[in-house]
């Protein structure tokens, strides 16, 4: 199966990725090949097979009590942020 | 002292043949000398290492040393280290200084181990050749024109070149076992959930597992005991007691049932590699093991299954890199959408973008059932194949990789060829079972690894089976010529 340019644009938009003009044909080609590769699954006999939810049989995702376990360390954490003011993360204006 | 295994180093430190500080200084010298050749490290933490060494020397002098006190290691740069850059091989995190330690880092630090630095890796652990790293490819110590494998290529190259006696690593589709095979060292991927993933930057959460690359199964056993165990901070961590992995290392193998996966022999497997695996199997027969052919009919579908499940989980996990809270931010974003798109477009490399887009596609409206649910059903079949196999046999043995190391650049433009490097390793990740790659010979002067897989939480047996082979053979003791001398030029 071959993915067209519009499909690549739409996937890149959904993934929030800007692509350069030069990247688009490269991903068109390789994603098409990957879709062909995973297309091998179509022929697998899976009628009545439950989708696997966890690699270890009988185990499910564990829940923890809904209690606060972290202490406030926002200053430490925000040291990695590109732009912070008054302990708030800054982004370009969202509401005019 | 660079040629000693961890177990040997532990004895010599206790016998005070040399101090932890002397050992650390010697290895830091090797790290620096090898860096221009191998590019195995992203960050060298010399100052912290010497401080940890000093503390370890004091503990030894004061009689408070544990079994791992003073033993040096390197951490794959996917494990968060407090106050130290944690890049995950990506431009996205080139400026990221972790505010906390991963559980693995914390545990091994508390056990007294000395961190030499952070090893290079494929970007976000996506790759089988270490060529996708933002910091450039790692070179294979056996031939600097070849790849070391990936994604834990820096860890494998560092251990093979004897610049670190052991290193942490992670394995989502073969990222511990395949580079261990290509570099001639021992690589252990434990059972899914055995080692905490807290602070280990996530790629595919139902597959990722932390483990070790070392010089022997014995060394891996020594460190795994301190690394494994339940962690309430990782919701996929499993609450199963940690056995003493050293206790069963020397158990005789008489009566061991070894399964050979029919689907793994022939096909794309290099005939010389196959011969070495068959030779290794003869060693097991000599030790009293019985060989049994087993069939895992769904296993040939593991590569397509993986390339739905792993990218799907990757696209979701990597959504956190938004240019807002941490990581790369583009210059002068004109609005929020532009900020997201350009920060991510610039911060991620080509392969990571490919996986994010593949994942986005297979999860998108109208395709979810056809791809993701279908793959999860096939994954159930693969899991059932392994379960049935382990009802008949104790371990499965086969090749780790279809061939020896390849040239840098040879497969870089062909993602499908690259993905097929992991054809023998991906099954264990899909089924969550442990696997170990053990050196078993050379083809054209390049190392070959044999893979041994066991049932869930069967690490003790796996290490026992690998150790028995290493007592009979010396492949794991071979050192690449360029790194054999104590003093590197």
Interacting residues of A8 by C-beta distance below 8 A, sequence separation 6+: A19, A24, A27, A28, A31, B357
Contact B371, A34 (CB under 8 A): no
Q: What percent of chain A has pLDDT over 70?
A: 100
Q: How far is B47 from chain A (nearest CA, A)?
A: 22
B398 & B372 share domain: no
Identify the sign of the CA torsion B199, A60, B195, B184: negative
Asked if residue B282 is part of any domain, the answer here is no
pLDDT over threshold 80, residue A59: no
Give the count of domains, chain B: 2
Which residues in chain B come in under a pLDDT of 50?
Answer: none
Contact flag B333-A92 (C-beta cutoff 8 Å): yes
- Residue B91 forms part of a structural domain: yes
DSSP state of B433: -
ipTM for the complex shown: 0.96
Q: Please indicate if any CB of chain B lies within 8 Å of the CB of A89.
A: yes
Strand ranges (DSSP E) for B64-217? 72-76, 114-119, 166-171, 186-189, 209-214
Per-residue pLDDT tens digits for B229-265: 999 999 999 999 999 999 999 999 999 999 999 888 8
Domain count, chain A: 1
End residue of a domain, out of B351, B377, B403:
B377
Rounded Cα–Cα distance for residues B225 and B249 (Å): 13
pTM to 2 decimal places: 0.97
| Confidence band for A55, pLDDT divided at 50, 70 and 90 | confident
Q: Which chain A residues are Cβ-neighbours of B456 within 8 angstroms?
A: 56
Q: What is the pLDDT of residue B151?
A: 97
Which of B344, B377, B410 is the last residue in one of the domains?
B377
Expressed as residue numbers, the domain containing A32 is 5-42
- The CATH code of the domain that includes A10 is 1.10.20
Q: How far apart are CA B252 and CA B458, in angstroms?
A: 16
Who's near B413: CB < 8 A, 6+ residues apart? Answer: none
Q: Which residue has the tokens 């020896």?
A: B404
Count Cα atoms within 13 angstroms, Cβ side, for B142: 27
Whether B66 and B191 map to the same domain: the answer is: yes
Residue B383 within a domain: no
CATH number, position B477 = 3.90.1300.10
Chain A residues with CB under 8 Å of B371 CB are 38, 41
Q: Specify the pLDDT at position A56.
A: 87
Task: Let me know if residue A33 belongs to a domain.
Answer: yes
Could you tell me where the beta strands, DSSP code E, fall in B430-474?
435-443, 446-453
What residues make up the domain containing B104?
6-258+390-483
B101 located within any domain: yes
First vs last C-alpha separation in chain A: 44
Residues of A numbered 10-69 whose beta carbons fall under 8 angstroms of chain B's beta carbons: which are they? 11-20, 23, 26-27, 30-31, 33-35, 37-42, 44, 46, 49-57, 59, 61-62, 64
Q: Could you read off the pLDDT of B416-473 as tens digits, one per residue?
A: 999 998 999 999 999 999 999 999 999 999 999 999 999 999 999 999 999 999 999 9
Q: Record the tokens describing residue B125, joined without a space.
A: 């652990």
Phi-psi region of B184 (alpha: psi -120 to 50; beta: other; left: phi over 0): left
Based on the fold, state whether residues B214 and B314 are members of the same structural domain.
Answer: no
pLDDT(A60) > 80: no
| Residue among B173, B152, B189, B181 at smallest CA distance from B273 | B181
Write the CB contacts of B254 (distance below 8 Å, at least 6 apart in sequence): B287, B288, B289
Distance from CA of B345 to the nearest CA of A (A): 5
- Asked whether residue B279 is assigned to any structural domain, the reply reads no
């Amino acid at each position: 199966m071959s993915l067209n340019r519009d499909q690549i644009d739409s996937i890149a938009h959904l993934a929030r990725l800007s692509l350069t003009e030069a990247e688009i044909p490269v991903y068109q080609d390789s994603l098409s090949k990957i879709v062909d590769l995973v297309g091998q699954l179509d022929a697998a006999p899976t009628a009545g097979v439950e989708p696997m939810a966890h690699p270890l049989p009988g185990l499910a995702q564990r829940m923890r009590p809904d209690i606060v376990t972290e202490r406030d360390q926002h200053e430490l954490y925000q040291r990695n942020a590109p732009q912070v003011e008054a302990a708030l993360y800054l982004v370009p204006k969202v509401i005019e | 002292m660079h040629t000693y295994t961890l177990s040997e180093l532990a004895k010599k430190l206790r016998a005070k043949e040399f101090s932890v500080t002397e050992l650390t200084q010697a290895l830091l010298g090797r790290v620096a000398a090898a860096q221009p050749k191998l590019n195995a490290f992203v960050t060298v933490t010399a100052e912290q290492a010497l401080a940890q060494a000093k503390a370890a020397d004091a503990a030894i002098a004061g009689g408070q040393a544990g079994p791992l006190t003073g033993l040096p290691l390197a951490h794959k740069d996917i494990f968060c280290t407090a106050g130290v850059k944690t890049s995950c091989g990506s431009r996205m995190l080139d400026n990221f200084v972790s505010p906390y330690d991963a559980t693995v880092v914390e545990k091994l630090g508390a056990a007294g181990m000395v961190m030499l630095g952070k090893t290079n890796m494929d970007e976000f652990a996506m790759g089988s050749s270490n060529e996708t790293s933002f910091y450039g490819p790692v070179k294979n110590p056996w031939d600097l024109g070849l790849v070391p494998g990936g994604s834990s290529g820096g860890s494998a190259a560092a251990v093979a070149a004897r610049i670190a006696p052991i290193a942490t690593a992670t394995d989502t589709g073969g990222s511990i076992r395949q580079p261990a095979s290509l570099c001639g060292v021992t690589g252990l991927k434990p059972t899914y959930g055995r080692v905490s993933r807290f602070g280990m930057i996530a790629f595919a959460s139902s597959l990722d597992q932390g483990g070790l690359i070392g010089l022997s199964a014995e060394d891996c056993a020594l460190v795994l005991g301190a690394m494994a165990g339940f962690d309430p901070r990782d919701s996929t961590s499993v609450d199963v007691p940690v056995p003493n992995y050293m206790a069963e290392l020397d158990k005789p193998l008489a009566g061991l049932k070894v399964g050979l996966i029919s689907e793994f022999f022939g096909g794309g497997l290099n005939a010389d590699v196959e011969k070495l695996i068959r030779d290794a199997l003869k060693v097991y027969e000599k030790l009293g093991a019985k060989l049994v052919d087993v069939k895992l009919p769904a296993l040939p579908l593991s590569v397509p299954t993986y390339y739905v499940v792993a990218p799907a989980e990757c696209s979701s996990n990597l959504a956190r890199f938004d240019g807002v809270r941490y990581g790369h931010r583009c210059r002068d974003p004109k609005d929020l959408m532009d900020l997201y798109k350009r920060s991510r477009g610039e911060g991620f490399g080509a392969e990571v973008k490919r996986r994010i887009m593949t994942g986005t596609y297979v999860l998108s409206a109208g395709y979810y059932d056809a791809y993701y649910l279908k793959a999860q059903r096939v994954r159930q079949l693969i899991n059932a194949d392994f379960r049935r196999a382990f009802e008949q046999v104790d371990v499965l043995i086969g090749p780790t990789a279809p061939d020896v190391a390849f040239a840098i650049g040879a497969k870089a433009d062909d993602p499908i060829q690259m993905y097929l490097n992991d054809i023998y390793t991906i099954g264990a990740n899909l089924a969550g079972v442990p696997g170990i790659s053990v050196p078993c010979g050379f083809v054209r002067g390049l190392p070959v690894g044999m893979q041994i897989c066991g049932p869930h939480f069967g690490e003790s047996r796996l290490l026992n089976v690998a150790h028995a082979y290493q007592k009979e053979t010396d492949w794991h003791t071979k050192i690449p010529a360029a790194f054999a001398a104590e003093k590197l030029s």
